[in-house]
Amino acid sequence: MTAPAATGAPRLGGRGRSVRYRLNAWLPVLATCVILVLMLGAGQAVFGDFVSPRLLSSLFDNNPFLIVLAVGMTFVILTGGIDLSVGSVIAFSGLLGAQLFAAGWPAAAVLPLMVLSGTLIGAVVGVMVAFFDIQPFIASLAGMFLARGLAYVTSLKALPIHNDALNWLLGTSWGVGDWTTTPGVLLSLLLVAIAFWVFHYTRFGRTVYAVGGNEQSARLMGLAVTRTVFLVYLISGTCAGIAGVLFASYTQSGNPLAGLGMELQAIAAVVIGGTILTGGSGYVIGSLFGVLVYGLIQISITYMSVDSWWTYIVIGVMLLLFVVFQRAIAARRRR
């Protein structure tokens, strides 16, 4: 092809567009940030002594497992899917670990197995969605029941876990002054960083966005759509397995009732973080902020010493506002 780049060719659109495009795409994430800051400010104004290194540290310390779940969920939601199985996987993986520890297995074997149990459930859901074309809602609902059932098969009642390696994950506190963190929190942040790199610097990551944006187009572009969809659920399951390890470390036990409804908390965090449920648009950083907003609401409710179900009401209102906000942005883009 030798056609010269016609020098007189009119430039279509302006330079400014790319800046505005990025701003537009990041707008929901920025909005979540702004809300986080506003909430911190409001807390400071109302309670006086609210914002402190202790509070900021505990925002992360309380919910590392939710951060990990939200990372996996971001992959799934960006393709336009949903994964309801992750909460049950936490219970299954925790109990599996508890039983294996009780049987005297070493942590070096148990922890990978706990993670792999999530990968397995993710693989089952992924096969159903990607290869048998079953709707993600139904497939992951099946995965949810399967994992919950397996948890009960593993043990009918909660089992305590006494293991130093597991304890180390969230029991160790590193810090400078009042700023503290745990290996588990660092692990969850590391996963966010890895996910960001995967999303934005690998073909797989870009294919995730393309599939969510327009699956038909992605297929016609010759992208590996089926494989990508499968991998997305595999990743989400694996993240749920990791979250199971962190949750077991957090509670020092395995419990067949663990993680009830946590899949919905993860979805809420992802949506509050600006990812659109139909896929194709959103950032994993946003999901991290979504979890922080969620955690901050929990802490504020505790500060106000009102009943904890107010958390749900606030989260519900916030979700509604966010969905309306996203619709407004989408409508503006269409114009």
Interacting residues toward another protein by CB under 8 A? 1-6, 9-15, 17-18, 20-22, 24-25, 197, 200-203, 206-207, 209-210, 212-214, 216-223, 280-281, 333
Complex with another protein: residue 214 or 252, whichever CB lies closer:
214
Structure tokens at 296: 């901050």
CB 140 → another protein: shortest distance, Å?
Answer: 24
Query: Closer CB to another protein, residue 77 or residue 100?
Result: 77
Longest dimension (CA), the chain: 77
Could you give the residue ranges of the DSSP H alpha helices within 252-283? 262-272
Cβ-count burial of 150 within 10 angstroms (0-12 exposed, 13-18 middle, 19+ buried)?
buried
Cross-strand pairs, 179 = 176
Please report how close the Cβ of residue 188 comes to another protein at its closest, in angstroms.
22
To the nearest whole angstrom, how small is the minimum distance from the Cβ of residue 214 to another protein? 5
CB of 285 to another protein, least distance (A): 17
Cβ 26 to another protein, closest distance in Å?
12
Minimum distance, C-beta of residue 122 to another protein, in the bound complex (Å): 24
Nearer to another protein, 154 or 207 (CB): 207
CB count within 10 Å of CB 226 equals: 15
List residues bridging with 160 in a β-sheet: 253
The span from the CA of 197 to the CA of 208, in Å, is 13
Query: Of the two residues 6 and 108, which places its CB atom closer to another protein in the complex?
Result: 6
Residues in the chain: 335
Question: Residue 194 or residue 320: which is nearer to another protein going by CB?
Answer: 194
- Minimum CB distance to another protein smaller for 209 or for 310: 209
Buried b (16+ CB within 10 A) or exposed e, 256-289: bebbeebbebbbbbbbbbbbbbebbbbbbbbbbb
